[in-house]
Structure 1
């Protein structure tokens, strides 16, 4: 008979580093796309016991096969495919201090990023910005109306409306090839 493991003895990732760099194709929050659901075992099981707390919240989405793990204020969120146990996306929001390309992050102007990185382009199929060639980076305009204005300006060759970056997403390239085959993979 196998002995039960004491919840106090379970190790694994207990919190996210909200100052870690955002690296497309690699990770953010000191989490890598190489991490799997097993690295978060203590977080998932801790909610069953009142005496063991972590700094990571979790929820399972009812209508699909993903689990989300997030910091307490949702500044950083990781989505895990429950069938494979692999991380498919990481989302950085307001309050995340880490930088993209070592100098841009949440709170910076999109126009400043576009001046420095000429490979960032607006994807007309999905209404968000991506790095070309696609490396998993996605930057969403803050709302649908602004995305529509950016779309129209891009098509018409006019000045692109600026905005403050409030969401940066990086997705796993294997996941991207399955979900966006033919549209994002250049």
Structure 2
């Protein structure tokens, strides 16, 4: 296991791999020294930790509202990485926060807007997701989608994002 020493907001976003030194499917323990050294800098808390009711097996580590690290609490693995405004790195060497959706569509015509999920998704690569600045709108045209800007980029490992443990599959140390 490697230890993450720094967060570089200019690092490329590489689907299936990671962002900078942070790698998908790496044990979240690799972030421990970084979290401990950056938990408090003066009066500002750099890291926050949250869980969501709809994803009870996820813990989200939030760094300055720019980088979000999703961790599967059962496996300890990093299963998603999300970046927002303030992150300068690019995905596919061309697309970054603030890029137009039309530029993403030109790059790969397998990307599409999914009204049900409310994200830009890929037809075959389920491990990439883009959020756009049309949230909280009831309806809009295809042209409005293309002219919107990317506000969030997520890469994930969807196969590891949920862990279902049967009653007989708990580790022995849990049943003592």
Name the TM-score, length of structure 2 as normaliser: 0.73
**Whole-Å separation in 1 of the counterparts to 2:30 and 2:158:** 20
For 1:70, the equivalent position in structure 2 comes to: 62
Instruction: State the SS of the aligned residue for 1:68.
Output: strand
1:1-186 alignment to 2 at 5 Å?
12-43=3-34, 57-61=47-51, 63=53, 64-71=56-63, 73-146=64-137, 148-150=138-140, 153=141, 159-161=143-145, 162-175=147-160
Q: In 2 relative to 1, CA 12–58 (structure 1 residues): closer, same or farther, beyond 3 Å?
A: farther
The answer to whether the Cα contact below 8 Å between 2:101 and 2:149 also exists between their aligned partners in 1 is yes
Count of residues paired in the alignment: 157
User: What RMSD over aligned residues (CA atoms) do the two structures have, in Å?
Assistant: 3.1
Larger mean CA deviation between 23-32 and 92-101 belongs to 23-32
The answer to whether the Cα contact below 8 Å between 2:25 and 2:157 also exists between their aligned partners in 1 is no
Name the TM-score, length of structure 1 as normaliser: 0.70
Instruction: State the Cα deviation string for residues 18-72 of structure 1 (Å, max 9, x = none).
Output: 1111122221243111311221232455589x89xxx96241437534332233x
What is the CA distance between 1:177 and its match in structure 2? 7.8
The answer to whether the Cα contact below 8 Å between 2:81 and 2:155 also exists between their aligned partners in 1 is yes
Bigger fraction of residues in strand: 2
What is the CA distance between 1:163 and its match in structure 2? 1.0
The answer to whether the Cα contact below 8 Å between 1:60 and 1:67 also exists between their aligned partners in 2 is yes
**Whole-Å separation in 2 of the counterparts to 1:47 and 1:110:** 34
Bigger fraction of residues in helix: 1
**Whole-Å separation in 1 of the counterparts to 2:30 and 2:75:** 14
Q: Any gaps of 5 or more consecutive residues in structure 1?
A: 1-10, 180-186
